[in-house]
Structure 1
Amino acid sequence: MANSEAVAESVDTKKSNVKYIATCTVHASMASLILGYGLGVLIGAALYIKKDLKITDVQLEVLMGVLSLYSVIGSFAAGRTSDWIGRRRTVILTAGIFLAAALLMALSVNYAMLMAGQFVAGVGAGYAIMIPPVYAAEISPPSSRGLMSSLPEVFGCAGVLLGYLSNYAFARLPLYLGWRVMVGVNAVPSVLLAVLVLGMPESPRWLVLKGRLRDARVVLEKITETPEEAAGSLADIKAAAGLPEGVDGDVVTVPKRSGGEEWQVWKDLVFSPSPAMRRILLSALGIHFFQQASGIDAFVLYSPRIFMGAGITDDRRLLGITCALGVTRTLVTLGAMFLLDRVGRRPLLLVSTGGMAVALAGLAAALTITTDRLRPDAEARWANGLAVACTVAYNAAYSAGIGTVAWVYSSEIFPLRERALGCAIGVAFNRAVSGVVGMTFLSLSKAITIGGAFFLYASMTVIAWVFVFTCLPETRGRTLEEMGKLFGMGNTSNVEAQDRDEDCKAVEMPMAN
C-alpha cells in the first residue's frame, strides 16, 4: 500500500514538473510566435507595400531577404546578452525589440523607414531564434528535452500561419492602411510576452555559471522529481561550470579562466578548438546550413510566385494553398515534437531529408513542364497538380525533421560555457544562408529557370542526407552534461586538455561530458 502511494505521488510530482516546464517553455516560445507572424504577414503585405510605396522588384527582394542578414547581428548580440543578463531577461529584451519593430514598420511612410523597421525586426529575429531553444534545453530533463526544445519551432509555424490569416483578414482595408495594420498587430503579442516572462524562472545552468547556487537549487527542485535528483543535477552542472568538487553555499565565486572569459570561450570554440569541440561546432553549422540550403525560404517568402509558375493565377486559390501550407507545417511540426524523444533525432533527420529530396525533384520536374510552352495543356494541368502535391510533401518532410530538429540539436550539443556563443554562431550562420537563399531566389529562377533552382535545392538535400548519416550522433536521452562523450570528449574539459586554465590549474574542472 505504501509503495503504491509512493508511486502515485512520484507520478503526480512528475506530471506537475512537466507541466511547470512546459508552461515556462511556452512563455519563452512566444518570441518564436512573434517572429513567425512577422515573416508570414510580410509575404502578403509585400504585395500591398509594393503598390503603396511604389517600390521595384529589386527593392522588394531586398526587403524580403534582408531580415535574415540583419538577424545575424541579433544572434551574436543574443549570445553575449544571454550570458551577461541571463536567459530570462534576454527574452524580455526580445519582446521590447519586436514591439519597436512593429510600431516602426506600421508607421513607415517610405522605403527607408520600412528598411529601418526591418533592421530592428532582424535584430529581434536573431534573439528570437537563438534564446528560446537554449532556455528550453537548459530547464528540461533529458526525457522531454526534445519535446520542450521543439516548442519554439511549433510556435514559429503557428505564427507564420497567423500571418497568412492576417493577410486575408485585413486585405479589404484601404491600401495605405491594410498592410500597416497587418504588420502593426505584432505589437500586441510583444507586450504580452514581456508580461508572461516575468513569471518564468531563470535557467539553473546560467545561475550556476554566475555562482548563484541557492537560486539554481530552487529552480532544479521545481523541474526535477526528487531532491536527490536535483542535487545530482546541481553537482553535474557545477562540474560543467568549472566549480571544484565539494564547493557549496548560496553564492560562490566561479573560477575565471586566463585571458578573459569571453575571449577564452572564442578560443575554445573557434580559434583553437580541440578535435571534439571542432566536431561539435561543425555538426551545428552543418545542420543549420542544410536546413536553409534546401530552399525552405523560397517557399516561405515566394510561395505565391512558385504557384504562379505552376500555372495557378487565381488570387483566392493562391491564398488558399498558401494557408494550407501553413496548416501543414504547423500540424506536422506538432507531430514531430512528440516523436523527438521517442524515435530520436537521427531517424527523423534521415527520413526528413530523404523525403525532401524526392519532393524537390518532383517539384522541379513539374515546374519545368509547366514553364515549357511546347508542352500540351493537358500535360501542364497534370504537372500543376504534381507541383502542388510536391510542395505540400516538401513542407511536411521539412517540418517533420530538419526544420524542427536543427534547433533542438544545436541547442543541446555544446558544453555549458560555450553553449550561448555556439548557438549564436549556429543561428548567425543559419540566418546568413537564409538571407542568401531569400535574396537570390528570383534572380536564380531567371538565370537557370524556376525548375532548375529547385533541382539545385534537391541536390543540396541529398548531400544533407549523407551529412546526417555520416556525421551526426544520436543525442536522445542524454543529459546536457553527457553530450561531450558523443563527440569524443574525455573526462576533462576542452580547456584543460589544451592547458589554458592557468588561473585554475589547482582546481579540478570536469567539463560537460
Structure 2
Amino acid sequence: MDTEENCRETIEIEAQEETKAAPSVGFNKYVFASAILASTNSILLGYDIGVMSGAILFIKESLEITSLQVEILVGSLNVCSLIGSLASGKTSDLIGRRYTIVVAAATFLVGALLMGLAPSFLFMLAGRVVAGIGVGYSLMIAPVYTAELSPATTRGFLTSLPEVFINVGILLGYVFNYALSGLPDNINWRLMLGIASVPAIGIALGVMVMPESPRWLIMRGQVEEAKRVLIRTSNSEEEALMRLSEITNAAPASENLPGAWREMFVNPSKPIRRILIAAIGINFFMQASGNDAVVYYCPEVFKAAGIHKKKELVGVTIIMGIAKTSFVLLSALFLDRFGRRPMLLLGSTGMVVSLVGLGLGSRFLEGSVRKPVWAIVLCVVAVCADVSFFSIGLGPITWVYSSEIFPTRLRAQGSSLAVSVNRLVSGIVAMTFLSISEKISFGGMFFVLAGITGIGVIFFYVFLPETKGKSLEEMEAIFQD
C-alpha cells in the first residue's frame, strides 16, 4: 500500500509541475481506432435485429411455428442478454475490459452457428439464448471501455459509436435479407443468421491489438502501464499526466471492489442514488419506447398497412435502415457540441409525435378496406421518423450516459445493472408486442408507446443533468446538486 500511495503522490506532483493548462481538444487517432474496434462488437446485435425481422418470415414457414413461438424466438435473445449484462460487470472487473469484449464475440459466434444450423424450434431457441448472452456482454462492455479510454472532449462521439454500429448492423441485416430472400426457403434464413459468425471471429482477433482501459489498470495497481496507455490516448504528455492524476485520486484500491453492490444499494450517498435513478431510468425508457419491437416487427406493421409481397416488405425495411443509420451518425457527430440533454429531449419528443402519427395511420388503415396510398405513406414515413428520432436521442445517448456517469469504482457493476434493465424491458416488449397488438390493434399499441415515451421526456428533463465536457471523475459532483 505504501508503494501505491507514493506512486499516486508522485503522479500528482508531476501533473501539477508540468501543466496548469486545460487538456487540448484535438482528436486522438489511436483512441478513435480503439473505440472503432470495441464498438464493432455492437454490429452483432444490430445484424440480429435487422436480419431477424426478415428471416422470421421464412423461419415461420420452414419450421412451421406459431405466432407465439415467433415472439419467443425474437424476445428470447433480449431476455437472455440479461444474463450476459449482469455477468459482464464482475467479468470485466476480474479479467479486464478488453478480454471481456473477446468473451462477448466468442459467445455470439457459438449462438450464430447454432441458429444457422437449427433443425427445429428448440434448437433455434438454444442458439438465441447463447447469442443473447454474448449480446448482453457486448452492450455493457463496449461503451464502458470506450468511455474509460476517451478524453472528455470527444467522449460523447466515441461512446456513441456502439449505437452507430448497431445501426450499421441493422442495415446490413436488411441488405442480406433482401439479397438472400430469393433463395429456397429452407436455405435463405440459415445463411441470413449464420453469416453473423464471420464478423464475430474478426472482432475477437481485432480486440487483441487494443490497449486495456487505463482506469481498470489503475484499479489493479498497474499505474505505469496505465500511464503508457494514457500517453498514447492523449494529445500531449501533459494532458496524460493530468488525466492520470485525476484517475489515481478517484480510483479505489482493488481490495475495495467487492463493495460495489453494497455501496449502490445498502447505503448509497445522494449522488450515487441519483446516478442509479438516471442510469436505470434512461435504459428503461429506451426500450419501453418500443423501438426494438418496431424494428423487429416492421414487416408485420407494413403488412397490416397493405404491403404484402415479401420482397417489397424487405425493401421498405432497407429504407428504414438507411434513415436510422444516417441519423445516428448525425447525432454522434454533434453530441459533444450540443450536449446530451438537448439532443435527448429533441429525439424523444420527435418519437412521441412520430408514434402518434403512426398510430393514427394504422387506425385509419384498420378501418379501411381499400387501403389508401396516403395512409400507407403516412405509416412508412412515421416509422422512418420514429427510428430516426430514436437515433438522434435515446439510441446513442443511453449508452453514452449510462457508461459515463458512474464513478470508476462502480462503473462496471452499475453499467451492467443499467444494461440488464435495458435488456429485460426490451425482451418483455418484444415478446408481448404482437400479442398486445392483436388485442388492441397496431394503432392502439403505438398510442400506448407514445404515452410511455412522453413520460420519458418528463423524466429526462427532471432527472438527467448535462455531462458534456466533464471528466469521468467529475460526475459525482454533478449529481450532488
State the match for 2:321 in structure 1: 326
Decide whether the 8 Å contact of 1:14 with 1:224 is kept in 2. Answer: no
2:37 paired with 1:27: yes
State the match for 2:246 in structure 1: 236
2:139 paired with 1:144: no
State the match for 1:406 in structure 2: 398
2:459 paired with 1:467: yes
Q: What do residues 208-260 of structure 1 show as CA deviations (whole Å, max 9, x unaligned)?
A: 00000010000000011222221121111111113xxxxxxxxxxx3633xxx
The TM-score normalised by the length of structure 1 is 0.87
Q: Which has the larger radius of gyration?
A: 1
State the match for 2:104 in structure 1: 94
State the match for 1:344 in structure 2: 339
Give the secondary structure class of the aligned counterpart of 2:306: coil
Amino acid at match of 1:287: I
| Unmatched segments (≥5 aa) in structure 2 | 1-23
Q: What do residues 383-414 of structure 1 show as CA deviations (whole Å, max 9, x unaligned)?
A: 22211111111111110111110110010000
State the match for 2:13 in structure 1: none
Runs of 4+ with deviation above 4 angstroms: none
State the match for 2:93 in structure 1: 83
Question: How far apart, CA to CA, are the structure 1 residues paired with 2:111 and 2:316?
Answer: 29
Amino acid at match of 1:119: V
Give the secondary structure class of the aligned counterpart of 1:313: coil
Decide whether the 8 Å contact of 1:29 with 1:151 is kept in 2. Answer: yes
State the match for 2:225 in structure 1: 215
Amino acid at match of 1:330: T
Give the secondary structure class of the aligned counterpart of 1:290: helix
| Cα pair distance change 1:475/1:26, threshold 3 Å | same
2:376 paired with 1:384: yes
Question: How far apart, CA to CA, are the structure 1 residues paired with 2:396 and 2:472?
Answer: 18
Matches of residues 98-113 of structure 1 in structure 2 within 5 Å?
98-113=108-123
Query: How many percent of aligned residue pairs carry the same amino acid?
Result: 45
Question: How far apart, CA to CA, are the structure 2 residues paired with 1:179 and 1:383?
Answer: 31
Decide whether the 8 Å contact of 1:29 with 1:132 is kept in 2. Answer: yes
Question: How far apart, CA to CA, are the structure 1 residues paired with 2:78 and 2:346?
Answer: 27
2:46 to 29, 36, 41: 36
Alpha-carbon distance, 1:14 to partner: 7.2
Question: How far apart, CA to CA, are the structure 2 residues paired with 1:398 and 1:365?
Answer: 19
Deviates more, 1:420-429 or 1:383-392: 383-392
Deviates more, 1:380-389 or 1:133-142: 380-389
State the match for 1:286 in structure 2: 281
| Cα pair distance change 1:209/1:107, threshold 3 Å | same
State the match for 1:48 in structure 2: 58
Decide whether the 8 Å contact of 1:72 with 1:428 is kept in 2. Answer: yes
Question: How far apart, CA to CA, are the structure 2 residues paired with 1:418 and 1:359?
Answer: 37
State the match for 1:172 in structure 2: 182
Give the secondary structure class of the aligned counterpart of 1:342: helix
Question: How far apart, CA to CA, are the structure 1 residues paired with 2:118 and 2:373?
Answer: 42
Alpha-carbon distance, 1:77 to partner: 1.2
Decide whether the 8 Å contact of 2:178 with 2:315 is kept in 1. Answer: no
Alpha-carbon distance, 1:198 to partner: 1.1
State the match for 1:361 in structure 2: 356
Question: How far apart, CA to CA, are the structure 2 residues paired with 1:412 and 1:63?
Answer: 33
Q: What do residues 114-141 of structure 1 show as CA deviations (whole Å, max 9, x unaligned)?
A: 1110111000010111111001101100
| Unmatched segments (≥5 aa) in structure 1 | 1-12, 243-253, 490-513
1:311 to 283, 288, 306: 306
Q: What do residues 142-167 of structure 1 show as CA deviations (whole Å, max 9, x unaligned)?
A: 11000100111101100011011111
Matches of residues 418-457 of structure 1 in structure 2 within 5 Å?
418-457=410-449
The TM-score normalised by the length of structure 2 is 0.93
State the match for 1:5 in structure 2: none
Amino acid at match of 1:472: L
| Cα pair distance change 1:316/1:175, threshold 3 Å | closer
| Cα pair distance change 1:77/1:255, threshold 3 Å | closer
Q: What do residues 47-101 of structure 1 show as CA deviations (whole Å, max 9, x unaligned)?
A: 2212221111111110011111100000011111111000001111111111111
Question: How far apart, CA to CA, are the structure 2 residues paired with 1:255 and 1:455?
Answer: 49
Amino acid at match of 1:275: K
Alpha-carbon distance, 1:381 to partner: 3.0
State the match for 2:4 in structure 1: none
Decide whether the 8 Å contact of 1:99 with 1:190 is kept in 2. Answer: yes
Question: How far apart, CA to CA, are the structure 2 residues paired with 1:71 and 1:34?
Answer: 13
Amino acid at match of 1:43: S
Q: Give the number of the structure whose residues are more often helix, by fraction.
A: 2
Amino acid at match of 2:108: F
Matches of residues 122-161 of structure 1 in structure 2 within 5 Å?
122-161=132-171
Question: How far apart, CA to CA, are the structure 1 residues paired with 2:201 and 2:399?
Answer: 25
Count the aligned residue pairs: 459
Question: How far apart, CA to CA, are the structure 2 residues paired with 1:433 and 1:132?
Answer: 20
Decide whether the 8 Å contact of 2:219 with 2:254 is kept in 1. Answer: no
Decide whether the 8 Å contact of 1:106 with 1:181 is kept in 2. Answer: yes
Alpha-carbon distance, 1:175 to partner: 2.2
Give the secondary structure class of the aligned counterpart of 2:28: helix
Alpha-carbon distance, 1:315 to partner: 2.6
2:79 paired with 1:69: yes
Amino acid at match of 1:271: V
Give the secondary structure class of the aligned counterpart of 1:272: coil
Alpha-carbon distance, 1:174 to partner: 2.3
| Cα pair distance change 1:255/1:332, threshold 3 Å | closer
